[in-house]
Amino acid sequence: PTPRAKPKPEREESSGMCIMAAVPVVDPYDGRVRGVLYGGNLLNRNYALVDYIRDMIFEEREYKGREFGTVTIFQWDARISTNVLREDGTRAIGTRVSEEVYHRVLEKKESWLERAFVVHDWYISAYQPVLNPDGDVIGILYVGVLEDKYMDIRNEILVNLLLPLTIGVVVVLAFSYLLARDLSGPVRKLLLGTQKVASGDLDYRIRGKVKYPEIEQLTHHFNSMTQALKEREDELRKVNEDLRRVNQNYMEMLGFISHGMKNALGNMIMSAYNLRDGVVGKLTQKQKIMAGFLVHSSERLQDMIKNYMDLSRIERGELESRKQIVDFEAHILSPLLGEIEGQLKSKGMRITTNIPDPYEIKADPDLLRIVMENLLTNAIKYGKDQGKIRIEASESDKDWQMSVWNEGEGIPADQFGNLFSRFTRLKTEKSKRERGSGLGLFITKEMVERQGGHIWVQSKVGQWTRFSFVLPKDKG
């Protein structure tokens, strides 16, 4: 059996393959064909043709003791004429073609142009099907060269290329390592420096000499930058300290002036109320109108002074939350409603409440009073004349919630974002007429948040506005 050949039960071949030629026999007198002359050579074990082809194609006969170029004629899949040799040096007559060539050439009638296993070696081969006059495949013509020679050439080329390439890579890697080692030290120092500066250590400087001018220049610029930042920080610290002192003096003066004006303004407002309401004597209609203007202006001035005093407390850090149990209606709401009764009557407004009884919460009574006072004052100031104001309160497992709702022109949603900022005024028709300090809602938000809560607004333009805030139960 031949290695890698297709297994077959036959052990001998009784037929043969001939190469034939035929010529007509023509009568010289009349030109008619009188017969046919046949001639042929039996190719089985006839080595003249295959050796002739080999000698004509291949100059080199052997490579490492083996046939370099070989030619074979197959009858079907068996070698009948070949110069492929066995291990013992005899021609490999009777050996068979490999199985993959068998399927391609004999069964599919296709050529084979690639490496193939020939008896006991790999050859770069060409197999061409041999056809009889009827077009049927009866055998194969094979020509091949020993693959080992080209594999050795390839390996030699690879060795000749890879060896210097490997040496070059090793040299480059060694050089890169040395270069990286020289560069990594200064770079690590720069990295440490940036971390120190980022953490606020502006006294850090990179010391030591650097081999490379570019890195040395970068180190110099880093130290210069750090020095400039240090000088700038010292300057800013001094300016901030000066500003803090100026602001403190300003706040103390603001608190002093506001406190002094508050007492005098309280007496003036009381006198204005008495004048408007006819306590000191009957007024004409024009005098009543002027007295009303005086009351309105005095109340607005009183609100502004109160807001500036609260702002002064916030800026000086005096606004601390001291929570205690507070009866919301008795200690906060009822006193406030009594104080603003005159303002409600002057605008014809009505207040309704929806508050549980009892409704006790844990809060700072002073801060909570300022929050409710600011929200109610805003509801009166920006609410609808003859309109309604509704105060509601509720409780959950986590917090207490309170809200002040009023009829009015409402607040556009695009103004919600800046509503609680300092010195912010609404851009509505009502707010243009009712000028204020722009501090009320900012102070309200601060006082709610100092107690761990938060505040928000809801509104429907042209109809109503609601300010709501919550105070948590689990804080303070």
Q: Is 410 left (phi over 0), alpha (psi -120 to 50) or beta?
A: left
What pLDDT, on a 0 to 100 scale, did the predictor assign at position 92? Answer: 87
What pLDDT, on a 0 to 100 scale, did the predictor assign at position 117? Answer: 81
What pLDDT, on a 0 to 100 scale, did the predictor assign at position 393? Answer: 96
Whole-angstrom CA distances from 412 to 144, 417, 432, 454 are 93, 10, 15, 21
Beta-bridged to residue 125, according to DSSP, are: 114, 144
* pLDDT tens digit at each of 476 positions of the chain: 567 778 777 777 788 898 888 899 998 888 898 899 988 888 899 888 888 888 888 877 777 777 788 899 999 889 899 988 888 888 889 888 888 889 999 999 999 888 888 877 888 889 999 999 888 999 999 998 888 887 888 888 888 888 788 888 888 888 877 777 766 677 777 777 788 778 878 787 777 676 667 777 777 777 788 888 888 888 888 888 888 777 666 666 665 665 566 666 667 777 777 777 777 777 777 777 777 767 666 666 666 666 566 666 666 666 677 889 999 999 999 999 988 888 888 889 999 999 998 899 999 888 899 899 999 998 998 899 999 999 999 999 999 999 999 999 898 888 888 888 876 666 666 555 555 566 788 888 988 998 899 999 999 998 999 999 999 997 54
What pLDDT, on a 0 to 100 scale, did the predictor assign at position 476? Answer: 46
Domains of the chain: 18-153 (3.30.450.20), 202-318 (1.10.287), 321-472 (3.30.565.10)
Structure tokens belonging to residue 18? 């001939």
Structure tokens belonging to residue 362? 């844990």
The answer, as to whether pTM is greater than 0.75, is no
Indicate if the alpha-carbon torsion angle 332, 338, 343, 344 is positive or negative. Answer: positive
- φ, ψ dihedrals at 404, nearest 5°: -125, 120
Alpha carbons within 13 angstroms on the beta-carbon side of residue 325 total: 3
The C-alpha angle with vertex 51 and arms to 107 and 128, in degrees rounded to 5, equals 20
CB 91 within 8 A of CB 80: no
Measuring CA to CA, which residue among 395, 387, 401, 393 is closest to residue 330?
393
